[in-house]
């Protein structure tokens, strides 16, 4: 599957001609989220889900007819919850809620994020715990299947009371208001796009506006996409680390299974096993694995690569568990319980997601920092074991990869800034009713930038290590790493005099992003862990 850290806002969404994703009363899977968000898969509701939705709606309608005020049904919202709303004003109440909360600002959020968010909100509606009408859930499914994506903006969510502003922009489109992009990426008024697709806008009834905006779906969607992407990037990190160990005349003995078993961290074992397989049958490694080799120990950035990439894997596994729990959740406030009660709660608070989103940014920054240190070693004749300074063709006349490392260093510096947690901050809102917020949306947005930066850092390491491996000729690299070099050479020339370096870097980034570099290695040794 193609790894993409971000999707262009107006990118065409091809409608997946395969079977649609069926949304039932149980959770959708991470793979289904990726398929709908990135692959343009259609969506339909199961009969069981439609029955559950109808049953909870009957309970809401019964409560709406009672004189007793019920939050979100016959009251205002947030700090205005003390006001009872008469029956004749309740449709206006829901419409006003969505319009007022669709207050986002800044650049458009990527289409894949919005589609993930829509699917996850639909999944919660399908549980039968939100009290909406079936037609509302069916309209969400219709928009997804038609490739219609509401315009959502970068700023507006505090990650508490749900991703209010982002989800409100989606709800606005379901009402036939606001702006959307169609499947071709064309910007249109929502009413025009819905009309062209044969979708009738929904007039919201009691509680429905609140049910559409009170969820953690934005930050959860970005967490699921990030977990998918980071798992692919960690395989690439093992590939580039192995290339660097080889090119810097390091040893593979430190990756031995019995040594790794002395510290039974599961992610570390996976990373070390990957590196052993990647370096199998390397003539370069064999050339200095002799009694007369004077190097006693490799630098930490080589020797400890499995420990860092492994720790990142273990953190990722924790994040995936948290995401799995959230996928099984029904986030709304108030919520319709299994026995028919309508109860206020705090399940919309994004803290569990915000914490792991921040944690992933921290470990990603560290993986990138180790990669940059390996690249820097290649360029220093005091540490690169016989390679020319900066891997230059004619050092002094040529600068080689000197400034490629500057680019890496700038990316790593940015990553360190982005690793500062968002979840430790809190800005109270709604007249102090919402006096603690998670800022999980902010954590998710910066994590997307972090993953893009890691992709670029690893691409530069691969580019530099490939040049070094070429310069080790006539010694030959391992078959797996040689396949990676060959893939790079399909669009990037080998060593020679200086040339415009930016296109080479971008070509390497494209190969890293597409997964081609990992696929090349796996074509020789099979799937990496």
The β-bridge partners of 420 are: none
Q: What residues contact residue 419 under an 8 Å CB cut-off, 6+ apart? A: 361, 362, 364, 365, 450
Q: Which whole-number Å values give the CA distances from 277 to 114, 151, 188, 243, 310, in the listed order? A: 39, 46, 52, 12, 16
| Distance between start and end Cα atoms, the chain | 15
Preceding omega of 474 cis (within 30 degrees of 0): yes
Q: Which of 432, 292, 283, 310 is nearest to 370 (CA)?
A: 310
Rg from Cα positions in the chain: 26
Contact of 178 with 201, CB cutoff 8 Å: no
Q: Which two three-digit tokens encode residue 135? A: 């037609």
Please give the backbone phi and psi of residue 188, each rounded to the nearest 5 degrees, phi first: -140, 155
Question: In angstroms, how far is CA 385 from the centroid of its own chain?
Answer: 38
Residue 140 annotated among the catalytic residues of the structure: no
Q: How far is CA 12 from the centre of its chain?
A: 19
CA distance 304 to 207: 54
Q: Is-cis flag, bond preceding 525, omega within 30?
A: no
Classified as helix, coil or strand, 14 is coil
- Going by C-alpha positions, the residue among 11, 14, 8 that lies closest to residue 40 is 14
Q: Is there a contact between 337 and 202 (Cβ–Cβ < 8 Å)? A: no
Q: Please pick, among 71, 155, 300, 406, the residue that the annotation labels catalytic.
A: 71
Decide the pairing of beta strands 335-336 and 187-189. Answer: unpaired
The set of residues, in sequence order, having a beta carbon less than 8 Å from that of 241 and lying 6+ positions away, is: 275, 302, 305, 309, 370, 371, 374
Burial 442-453 (b: 16+ CB within 10 A, else e): bbbbbbbebbbb
Q: How many CB atoms lie within 10 A of CB 362?
A: 17
The whole-angstrom separation of Cα 257 and Cα 259 is: 5
Q: Which residues pair with 155 in a beta bridge?
A: 105
* Closest to 413 in 3D by CA, of 455, 363, 453: 453
How far apart CA 6 and CA 109 sit, in angstroms, is: 10
How far, in Å, CA of 45 to CA of 22, rounded? 6
Any idea which residues carry the catalytic annotation? Answer: 71
């Amino acid at each position: 599957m193609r790894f993409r850290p971000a999707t262009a806002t107006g990118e065409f969404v091809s409608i997946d001609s395969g079977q649609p994703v069926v949304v039932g009363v149980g959770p959708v899977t991470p793979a289904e989220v990726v398929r709908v968000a990135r692959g343009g898969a259609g969506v339909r509701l199961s009969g069981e889900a439609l029955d559950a939705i109808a049953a909870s709606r009957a309970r809401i309608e019964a409560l709406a007819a009672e004189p007793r005020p019920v939050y979100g049904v016959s009251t205002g919202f947030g700090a205005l919850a003390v006001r009872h709303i008469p029956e004749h004003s309740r449709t206006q109440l829901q419409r006003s809620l969505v319009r007022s909360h669709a207050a986002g600002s800044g650049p458009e959020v990527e289409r894949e994020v919005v589609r993930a968010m829509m699917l996850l909100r639909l999944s919660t509606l399908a549980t039968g715990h939100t009290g909406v009408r079936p037609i509302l859930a069916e309209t969400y499914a219709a928009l997804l299947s038609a490739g219609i994506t509401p315009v959502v903006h970068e700023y507006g969510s505090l990650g508490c009371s749900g991703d209010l502003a982002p989800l409100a922009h989606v709800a606005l489109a379901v009402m036939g208001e606001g702006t959307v992009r169609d499947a071709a990426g064309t910007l249109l008024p929502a009413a025009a796009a819905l009309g062209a697709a044969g979708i009738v806008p929904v007039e919201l009834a009691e509680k429905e506006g609140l049910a559409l905006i009170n969820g953690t779906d934005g930050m959860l969607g970005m967490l699921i996409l990030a977990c998918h992407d980071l798992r692919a990037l960690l395989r690439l990190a093992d590939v580039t680390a192995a290339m660097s160990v080889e090119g810097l005349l390091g040893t593979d003995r430190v990756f031995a299974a019995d040594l790794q078993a002395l510290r039974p961290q599961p992610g570390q074992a996976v990373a070390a096993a990957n590196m052993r397989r990647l370096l199998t049958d390397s003539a370069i490694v064999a050339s200095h694995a002799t009694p007369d080799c004077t190097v006693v120990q490799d630098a930490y950035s080589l020797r400890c690569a499995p420990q860092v990439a492994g720790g990142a894997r273990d953190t990722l596994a924790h994040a995936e568990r948290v995401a799995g729990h959230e996928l099984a959740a029904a986030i709304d406030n108030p919520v319709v319980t299994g026995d028919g009660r309508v109860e206020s709660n705090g399940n919309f608070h994004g803290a569990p997601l915000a914490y792991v989103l921040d944690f992933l940014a921290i470990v990603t920054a560290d993986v990138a920092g180790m990669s940059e240190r390996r690249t820097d070693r290649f360029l220093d004749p005091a540490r690169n074991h016989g390679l020319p300074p900066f891997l230059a063709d004619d050092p002094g006349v040529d600068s080689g990869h000197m400034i490629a490392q500057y680019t890496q260093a700038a990316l790593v510096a940015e990553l360190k800034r982005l690793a500062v947690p968002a979840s430790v901050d809190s800005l109270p809102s709604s007249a102090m009713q919402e006096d603690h917020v998670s800022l999980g949306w902010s954590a998710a947005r910066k994590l997307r930038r972090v993953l893009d930066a890691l992709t670029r850092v690893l691409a530069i390491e691969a580019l530099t290590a490939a040049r070094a491996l070429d310069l080790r000729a006539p010694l030959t690299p391992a078959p797996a790493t040689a396949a990676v070099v060959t893939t790079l050479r399909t669009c990037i020339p080998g060593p020679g005099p200086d040339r415009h370096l930016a296109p080479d870097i971008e070509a390497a980034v494209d190969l890293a992003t597409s997964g081609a570099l990992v696929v090349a290695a796996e074509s020789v040794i099979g799937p990496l862990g």
